[in-house]
Amino acid sequence: MARPREFDEHDVIAKATRLFWRRGYNATSVRDLGAELSLKQSSLYRAFNDKRTLFLRTLDHYRATESAQAEELLSAPGPSLDILREWLIWMVGHDSGLGCFVVNTATELGTSDPEVRQQTEAAFDVTRKTLASLLRRGVRDGDLPAALDVDAAVELLFTTVLGLRVRERAGHDPRRLATAIDFTVNALKTLTTSAT
């Protein structure tokens, strides 16, 4: 007869998320996890099989919390450029220099793990789709030029977001990041459909 678990699985995954987010996958050992979570290695293995399985669960947790919060902020009512700016400022200011767990994971593990890549790409797709929805709303409401190439603007913004997250993780001055954000948001007012 299996013994009942002596820990809250949701709490363990939330704590493991912070540890992986702070240190990365490769720099976090099972011993580190045990110490951070106050669990014996045997308990970790019984509950999650291995470090990789726990890591995949932490990516799910992050996407269900942090990514959902970002999506909610981008979907808020109001002028689209104001919402975009507020979200970008929030994004580089609320994680205390940790960057984005998904971006950190993508840069650390790249294409070496297909399942991890699938999760990071799914998170990136949500961001792209939410940005596209916000920009289309801006065009519809007259906040943005009618001739805006929304798909190209999404790619520009998505690349800017990734760069901002890396710079945040590297400890760059938030005022300089805010300058880049303001320039990007203002530039959207002048972008139009590319000639084909």
Write down all domains in the chain, each with its CATH number in brackets: 59-187 (1.10.357.10)
Token pair belonging to 132:
């596209």
Res 196: pLDDT: 41
Tell me, what's the pLDDT at 192? 62
Weakly modelled stretches of the chain, pLDDT under 50:
1-2, 4, 195-196
**pLDDT tens digits for 91-116?**
888 777 788 999 999 999 988 999 99
